[in-house]
């Protein structure tokens, strides 16, 4: 690694460390999800220096926007969707003044999904999009479509990410499978049901309760 890149990487790590332990944990989790997303779509992962810059910026923007409030014990909550204008504004903050802007064409989609994963409100009842069938096809079970989704077959804010164990979740999705045969699910489970994304959602849930 070039010395200049190593120094820059260390500078970004110091920046995250100054923000606190949760920032470092978030950087590792979000960074893993982002790199996996890029690779599964045939794109080059970010160099470590740019990845450190990206995750530090994302952490700062998410905290500036404010974590959603936790559900009360008896509260069901309701699925929500961040307005497109708000998402666009937050994405602009992530990329402002950074050389990351040169890769926005490939970073916009995962950045949008990461922001929603962190900032959309909590709820307890799944939307069931993962098993919604139209004309005999469930888009959330189509490999080509799901590759463009960091959270695989499930929504970025699906309560199953934190309510179910990986084994329970895999059985749930397998039972609902109608597209391409269950062998396709088993053969690409890391895309349809990515465990790195579950780890991120568990972290987000903890942050919501600590905020």
Per-residue pLDDT at 7: 43
- Do 134 and 184 lie in one domain? The reply is yes
- Do 151 and 96 lie in one domain? The reply is no
Per-residue pLDDT at 20: 72
Per-residue pLDDT at 119: 98
- Do 152 and 92 lie in one domain? The reply is no
- Do 120 and 22 lie in one domain? The reply is yes
pLDDT tens for each residue of 92-150: 999 999 999 899 999 999 999 999 999 999 999 999 999 999 988 899 999 999 999 99
- Do 30 and 85 lie in one domain? The reply is yes
Residue 165, domain extent = 129-192
pLDDT tens for each residue of 183-198: 889 999 999 999 999 9
- Do 143 and 117 lie in one domain? The reply is no
Cα–Cα separations (whole angstroms), residue 137 to 119, 134, 177, 184, 193: 30, 5, 10, 14, 18
pLDDT tens for each residue of 19-36: 678 999 999 999 999 999
- Do 169 and 98 lie in one domain? The reply is no
- Do 88 and 181 lie in one domain? The reply is no
pLDDT, greater one: 6 or 182: 182
State CA 195 to chain mean position distance.
Answer: 11
Torsional sign, CA 99, 105, 106, 107: positive
Torsional sign, CA 68, 202, 187, 173: negative
- Do 100 and 46 lie in one domain? The reply is yes
Per-residue pLDDT at 1: 39
Assigned domain for 198 exists: no
pLDDT above 50 for 6: no
Cα–Cα separations (whole angstroms), residue 133 to 41, 128, 138, 139, 157: 25, 10, 4, 8, 20
Q: What angle do CA 199, 82, 201 make, to 5 degrees?
A: 5
Assigned domain for 211 exists: no
Assigned domain for 31 exists: yes
- Do 32 and 79 lie in one domain? The reply is yes
Per-residue pLDDT at 183: 84
pLDDT above 50 for 3: no
Per-residue pLDDT at 34: 98
- Do 137 and 100 lie in one domain? The reply is no
Domain count for the chain? 2
- Do 40 and 96 lie in one domain? The reply is yes
pLDDT tens for each residue of 143-171: 999 999 999 999 999 999 999 999 999 99
pLDDT tens for each residue of 53-102: 999 999 999 999 999 999 999 999 999 999 999 999 999 999 999 999 89
């Amino acid at each position: 690694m070039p010395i200049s890149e190593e120094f820059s990487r260390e500078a970004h790590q110091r920046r995250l460390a100054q923000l606190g332990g949760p920032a470092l944990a978030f950087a590792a989790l979000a960074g893993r999800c982002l790199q996996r997303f890029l690779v599964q779509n045939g794109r080059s992962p970010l160099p470590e220096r740019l990845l450190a810059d990206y995750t530090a910026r994302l952490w700062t923007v998410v905290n500036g926007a404010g974590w959603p409030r936790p559900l009360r014990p008896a509260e069901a909550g309701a699925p929500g969707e961040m307005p497109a204008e708000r998402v666009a504004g937050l994405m602009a903050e992530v990329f402002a003044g950074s050389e990351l802007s040169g890769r926005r064409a490939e970073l916009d989609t995962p950045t949008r999904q990461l922001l929603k994963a962190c900032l959309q409100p909590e709820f307890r009842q799944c939307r069931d999009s993962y098993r919604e069938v139209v004309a005999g096809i469930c888009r959330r079970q189509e490999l080509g479509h799901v590759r463009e989704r960091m959270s695989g077959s499930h929504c970025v804010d699906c309560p199953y990410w934190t309510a179910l164990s990986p084994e329970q979740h895999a059985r749930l999705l397998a039972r609902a499978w109608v597209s391409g045969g269950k062998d396709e699910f088993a053969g690409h489970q890391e895309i349809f049901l990515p465990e790195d994304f579950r780890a991120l959602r568990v972290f987000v849930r903890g942050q919501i309760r600590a905020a």
